[in-house]
Chains A and B, each alone.
Chain A
Amino acid sequence: MNGAPGPAGPRRWRPAACAAVLLGGLALLGPMLAPYPPDAQDLMRVMEPPSASHWLGTDLVGRDVLARVLAGAPHSLGLALVCVVLAAATGMTLGMVAANAGPTLRTAILRLADLMLACPGLLLALLFAGFLGGGIWPMLIGLKLSLWPHYARMAEAIATGALRENHVEAARLAAFPERTILVRHVLPPVLRGVMPLATLGAGQAIMSISALGFLGLGLKPPTPEWGAMINELMPFLAEGFVQVAAPCAMIVLSVLVLAVAGRSMGGSSDAREHG
């Protein structure tokens, strides 16, 4: 009737590790793999279809689309990953602090998280990006601000539960220092809970960044950001389907990889594992 919970074996983490290596590698090494400089224009070869020299064709000022898609990886992908890692780290730290802290600090942190959760996520990012101009930093801050409360709430709930466990009490009675208890007893379950959420969150962040780029509120066109590229090439959909489809496919594939990895860790929408 009650299936054994089963230890969190290494196998469940493998898809996530693969996804991290794949996407992280792309974000770091993408620009080096590009066959041309992403901003090298060639006005004689505008909107050319795919060919041996330009695998994905050229855009409206003759830039190589493959080069731009690869060079865009650090912006579209890397930014999203950095964003989520920062947000998850902030959220986890604050959540674990809240779980350990006295009632005043705990309430303050949780209230702040609630307050931030009560704002629609993209709205904050929009406000930041809109007011401060569409640079990397406003977007990063805006997205991070809208993401950390999720991680903080989750980390707080898991850490509070873990701190009530008998093994924590046994460790305290054996006079293990609090730091050891946090690292050995509290951090692993918190990580197990936050990782799937962060994986799915990274997908959301990729979509948000490209949406901002597409709206013209994110990174501005000369930058090879995928959303901005789509915005730029949209009017020429009829002449250059491949050129538009390439950044679209990059976005969808990245998000899909993250979604599959997140689900394999049990991060589907039913995050109620402890039944």
Chain B
Amino acid sequence: MPASTAEAALTIRNLWIRDREGGVLVRNVSLSLPRGGVLTLIGETGSGKSLIAQALFGMLPEGLKVEGTIHLAGQPPIPAGDARQLAALWRSTLALVPQEPARAFDPTMTVGRQMALAGMGEGEVASSLRTFDLPEAVGRAYPFALSGGMAQRVLVAWALGLGSPVVVADEPTKGLDADRVTQAVSALAALARAGRSLLVITHDRRVAEDLPGTLAILRDGEIVEQGESTAVLAAPVSDYARTWLDADPRHWPRCLRCCDMSSLALSAHGLAFAWPGQAPLFRAVDLHLPRGGVLAVAGPSGSGKSTLGDILLGIRRPSAGSVEWSGVDIVADPSAIRPRRQRYQKLHQDPASTFVPHLPLARQFLALREVRPGLAIEREMPPLLERLKVRPSLLGRRPGEISGGEAQRLALARILLLDPVAIVADEPTSRLDPVVQRETMSLLRSIVDQRGLGLVLIGHDRAMLRAIADDRLELGIAERAASSSRLA
């Protein structure tokens, strides 16, 4: 429950945000951030969490109507609609760690000079960079030279250097891979240790777990649960929180089965790949994918996971090694690809992008008849769509007009119509919300079992891979070599 106003650094009371037509985007949200404490606001895409941050800074997009009060320690309460009064608190009271760090920097000025422009002395710049383990050279670099994770930490360092007592971090881990997430979260924790009151807005439960303090779960603009972080995570009260937490791959039941290793959908031996003039991404990779089996390929970004997937699909040639499609080596004999092309398919990370943007989906499905002459699409589609839980009416739309989960199931439907032997899925759910991710994954798994096809699942969420896969291949980046490990 909200702590009393006296000791709170920031209190938001009865915040409502409505769109132009009066539709409610944020419903009666009250939040309290204790002085020197951490409040994590977590919710899915579209839950309205970023709107709350924007309202706090008086930066809501034009046309949105806002009600409620915002109370910062030492200030009189401010009506949430008063952008001018809120803007007066920028820097003196409020600091922002914005999402998308790439857009937050002036691209034509060195990082250090931008920090100095905000009134930080050279020593302060250096010391705040040091606090976050950033090399001093970062100050002399142009923003384009920073990696996403580094830019994110520079923003956190900057917020520390500005000295504002309340810091709002909006999606501080968006687009970072697992290792960088840990770094970003520890940077935020350091900020809290330095005595700043921290409001973190995120969709990522790892952030909530690793930060102390209070947790509020937001759904459709409404807070469904709020309380001590560890308590909420351990024993959620609301149904939604429970479903949502169960969607965490670490809570999925393990899939334990044995596959028939005698009929391989796909196998590879001694694979290596290097970009021209560079050290090899990986070498000596062996893998075996039986029909009905799921092979996980894990590794940090840049370790060559997607490249490996493309090699297995025959759309990129390896530097060395062989790839066998049902026993035929397609590296030694590329002409073997053509007759088997449709049997080896790919599920993309961004499913909507696999459809031509300007054509209705139905036409794109009907076009499959051009490449599969015998396909009775009118007869095969309805049961398939039902199996995938896709409403047939969606087919009348264009790819931009359906949700990510729908797009992924339609992409899967199109692939299945080609009757594949094996599918390479390249992070197929990394852009989906947890609940949808769980549904999609279990659907994928059941289709693999039912149709007896092989699935190569590329991902970086080890917990999810462990839950769904029979076998796992780990590509490393540090040792520049691959190691294959059989799951126990």
Contact = CB atoms under 8 A, between A and B. Distances in A.
A4 B418 CA distance: 32
Contact of A180 (B342, B357, B370, B398): B370
B277 interface: no
A120 B152 CA distance: 46
Nearest to B359: A184
B356 A184 contact: yes
Given A7-B357, A167-B353, A184-B356, 10 more contacts: A5-B400, A7-B398, A166-B354, A169-B348, A170-B346, A170-B348, A170-B354, A170-B414, A175-B338, A188-B356
A174 B358 contact: no
Interface of A: 1, 4-5, 7-8, 165-167, 169-170, 172-176, 180, 184-185, 188
4 shortest interchain CB distances as A-B pairs:
A170-B354, A166-B353, A175-B341, A166-B354
A173 B344 contact: yes
25 contacts: A7-B358, A7-B398, A7-B400, A165-B353, A166-B350, A166-B354, A167-B353, A167-B355, A169-B346, A170-B346, A172-B315, A173-B313, A173-B341, A173-B346, A174-B368, A174-B414, A174-B418, A175-B338, A175-B341, A176-B370, A176-B371, A180-B370, A184-B359, A188-B356, A188-B358
Interface string B330-345: 0000000010011011
A174 B338 CA distance: 10
B337 to A, nearest CB: 10
Contacts of B357: 7, 167
B5 to A, nearest CB: 32
Given A4-B400, A7-B400, A167 B370 contact: no
Q: Which of A8, A167, A170, A176 has the most CB of B within 10 A?
A: A170
B345 A173 contact: yes
B123 interface: no
Given A4-B400, A166-B348, A169-B315, A175 B342 contact: yes
Interface string B266-282: 00000000000000000
Interface in B338-380: 338, 341-342, 344-346, 348, 350, 353-359, 367-368, 370-371
Interface in B356-412: 356-359, 367-368, 370-371, 398, 400, 411
A179 to B, nearest CB: 11
A185 B356 CA distance: 7
B416 to A, nearest CB: 12
B263 to A, nearest CB: 22
A188 B398 CA distance: 15
Contacts, number: 57
A176 B354 CA distance: 14
Nearest to A176: B371
Q: Which of A165, A166, A172 has the most CB of B within 10 A?
A: A166
Nearest to B340: A175
Q: Which of B353, B356, B411 has the most CB of A within 10 A?
A: B356
A169 B350 CA distance: 12
A173 to B, nearest CB: 6
B74 interface: no
A165 B351 CA distance: 11
Contacts of B341: 173-175
A89 to B, nearest CB: 21
Contact of A167 (B313, B356, B371): B356
Q: Which of A7, A175, A185 has the most CB of B within 10 A?
A: A175
Contacts of A167: 353-357
A9 B411 CA distance: 24
Nearest to A5: B400
Contacts of A7: 357-358, 398, 400
Contacts of A176: 367, 370-371
Q: Which of A165, A174, A176, A184 has the most CB of B within 10 A?
A: A174
B305 to A, nearest CB: 16
A184 B359 CA distance: 9
A1 to B, nearest CB: 7
B63 interface: no
Nearest to B337: A175
Contacts of B370: 176, 180
Nearest to B353: A166
A173 B368 contact: no
A5 B352 CA distance: 14
B89 to A, nearest CB: 22
Contacts of A1: 61
Contacts of B398: 7
A7 B400 CA distance: 8
